[in-house]
Amino acid sequence: MKKNKSKFEKLKMTILAIFLFVVCVGGIELTICYWHDPHIFTKIVTPVQNTAKLTISNGKKLIINTGNWISTQKQWFDDKLKQLGENLTQPQKAKLDQDEQKAENASGVMTRIDGVETLTGGTIPLIYFAQNDPEWKDQLYGNDPIGVYGCGPTALAMAVNSLGAGTTNPAIMSAFCAEQGYWAPKSGSYHSIVQGVSSAFGITCSAPNALDANEIITRLSNGEIAIALMGPGHFTDTGHFIVLRGVTKDNKLLVADPISRTRSLQEWDAQLIIDELSMSRSSGAPLWFLSVNE
């Protein structure tokens, strides 16, 4: 086996030597021919040069044609992608348009007016505040955080701003209410907060004749808003102040919940709201209608 391998190696070396010899001899002969007989040199070299030029020219054409083909295929692929994108986008666009149309037709929409969150579709455009807004949720209402216990001052801040009775926010209103003695430690607010704040800001505050759906719908439809103290149910497990801000064409109630934008954009059955009002009857609870004289 080693003997055969040795013969093969010798054969390779012999072929390489012959190749180098031919190249070297051919190169020497061409050099001699160039100096001693340029005519013969030209006859020998010209066909080689022509072949090389033709090969290079064909190579360039091949590269150009390949580039054009790639460009054509890329354009075809881009067109297909664009067409596919349009096919995918059109249904989504239609759905978006439908959602926007629904939003325009909805009776309760959250928007921004002069940079302030505002609920539209109700009795009046209602400036919305969330008690758990990062801007003030950790600030104190008395000794308690507004984010947990500040539904009363937040609801009244919405009412005061929206009725045009003043400019305030939950932090300012909480400080005012605590100073006036409406803060109830670890319980939120005393029920006297509604009548007290209304009086301080020149707002007319009155109780309904009865907790009746027709009266509530009528008074809200006539331009009043209301502060409602809710008991256990959809809005709270204990007690919670919200704003009743209007009525839909189907006689559903619109609310502004200080702790929930989602509930603030829903429509509510008037009887459900009545059924979930607090059982308290102190200081006009559980429902106060608010309005201002023009």
* Each residue's pLDDT tens digit, 4-24: 546 556 665 666 555 555 445
The answer to whether residues 132 and 276 belong to one domain is yes
Number of domains in the chain: 2
Where residue 2 falls among pLDDT bands split at 50, 70, 90? very low
Q: Find how far residue 126's CA is from the centre of its chain.
A: 23
The answer to whether residues 148 and 276 belong to one domain is yes
CATH of the domain at 285: 3.90.70.30
The answer to whether residues 118 and 86 belong to one domain is no
| pLDDT-wise least confident of 94-98, 159-163, 238-242 | 94-98
Place of tokens 């937040």: 154
Structure tokens at 216: 């509530």
The answer to whether residues 205 and 76 belong to one domain is no
Boundary-marking domain end, from 105, 120, 142: 105
The answer to whether residues 60 and 121 belong to one domain is no
Residue pLDDT, tens place only, 151-192: 999 999 999 999 999 999 999 999 999 999 999 999 999 999
CA distance 61 to 64: 5
Classify residue 14: in a domain, yes or no.
no
Classify residue 256: in a domain, yes or no.
yes
Asked whether the beta carbons of 206 and 266 are under 8 A apart, the reply is no
Residue pLDDT, tens place only, 102-119: 333 344 689 998 889 999
Q: What is the mean pLDDT of residues 209-234?
A: 97
| CA Rg value for the chain | 44
CA distance 215 to 30: 118
Boundary-marking domain end, from 73, 105, 137: 105
The answer to whether residues 115 and 239 belong to one domain is yes
Classify residue 237: in a domain, yes or no.
yes
The answer to whether residues 96 and 237 belong to one domain is no
The answer to whether residues 132 and 242 belong to one domain is yes
The answer to whether residues 155 and 212 belong to one domain is yes
Q: Find how far residue 111's CA is from the centre of its chain.
A: 14
What pTM value is reported for the model?
A: 0.65
The answer to whether residues 222 and 242 belong to one domain is yes
Classify residue 216: in a domain, yes or no.
yes
* Amino acid letter, residue 282: S
CA distance 169 to 138: 14
Domain hosting 284: range is: 109-291
